[in-house]
């Protein structure tokens, strides 16, 4: 009466959708003006990937972080990661949605692991150097920084799936018989 199986053909649509979410998360992290870091107590200092601002209420004095080489490196790595992520999204749409091209799936997986390494480095460089050069008390990392990590975690998961999917070519095309995980009679 009730059967539960894995519907592999759904992966053809879900994986590009997950990559689209990773792209959106990266864009949010890169473009966030409200900051990646804000001070805990007085709410008088915050810093984004691009600048840091000090002040209160409507009187904020902002300075660019691009005078620091580590901030330039973080910005470059995050943007390069985003560009590669967009390329993998386009290739995944071609490989999975238009026609099923199994040979492109490991390439997409490898590109996603490159994105993970690049963004992981950027997301570690930022807090380490922020704490060494700008830190003045207790700070909280905000939702924008979290979106950067969210994009990286989505890229890890999608990279693993793209590397594993070539083993299930018959299931993806719908030629294999469905294997049920659970079946009740």
CA–CA separation, 50 vs 146, rounded Å?
16
Give me the pLDDT at residue 148, please.
93
Q: Which residues of 160-183 are buried (b: 16+ CB within 10 A; e: fewer)?
A: ebbbebeeeeebbeeeeeeeeeee
Q: Could you report the per-residue pLDDT of 1-24, keeping only the tens digit for each?
A: 345 455 666 667 888 999 999 999
Over residues 86-110, the mean pLDDT reads: 89
pTM above threshold 0.75: yes
Q: Could you report the per-residue pLDDT of 18-65, keeping only the tens digit for each?
A: 999 999 999 999 998 877 888 876 577 888 888 888 887 778 888 888
- The confidence band for 154, taking pLDDT boundaries of 50, 70 and 90, is very high
Q: Which CATH architecture has domain 15-34+67-170?
A: Up-down Bundle (1.20)
Other C-beta atoms closer than 10 Å to the C-beta of 106 total 14
Contact yes or no for 139/41 (Cβ under 8 A): no
Reference 74, options 38, 140, 30, 138; nearest CA is 30
């Amino acid at each position: 009466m009730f059967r539960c199986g894995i519907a592999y053909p759904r992966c053809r649509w879900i994986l590009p959708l997950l990559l689209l979410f990773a792209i959106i998360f990266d864009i949010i992290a890169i473009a966030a003006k409200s900051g990646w870091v804000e001070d805990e107590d007085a709410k008088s200092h915050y810093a984004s990937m691009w600048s840091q601002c000090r002040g209160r209420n409507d009187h904020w004095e902002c300075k660019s972080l691009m005078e620091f080489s580590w901030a330039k490196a973080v910005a470059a790595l995050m943007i390069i990661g985003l560009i590669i992520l967009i390329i993998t999204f386009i290739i995944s749409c071609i490989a999975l949605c238009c026609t099923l091209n199994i040979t492109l799936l490991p390439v997409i997986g490898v590109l996603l692991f490159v994105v993970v390494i690049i963004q992981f480095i950027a997301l570690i460089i930022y807090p380490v150097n922020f704490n060494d050069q700008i830190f003045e008390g207790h700070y909280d990392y905000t939702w924008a920084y979290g979106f950067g990590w969210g994009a990286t975690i989505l890229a890890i998961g999608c990279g693993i799936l793209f590397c594993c999917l070539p083993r299930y070519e018959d299931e993806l095309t719908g030629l294999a018989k469905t294997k049920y995980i659970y079946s009740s009679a």
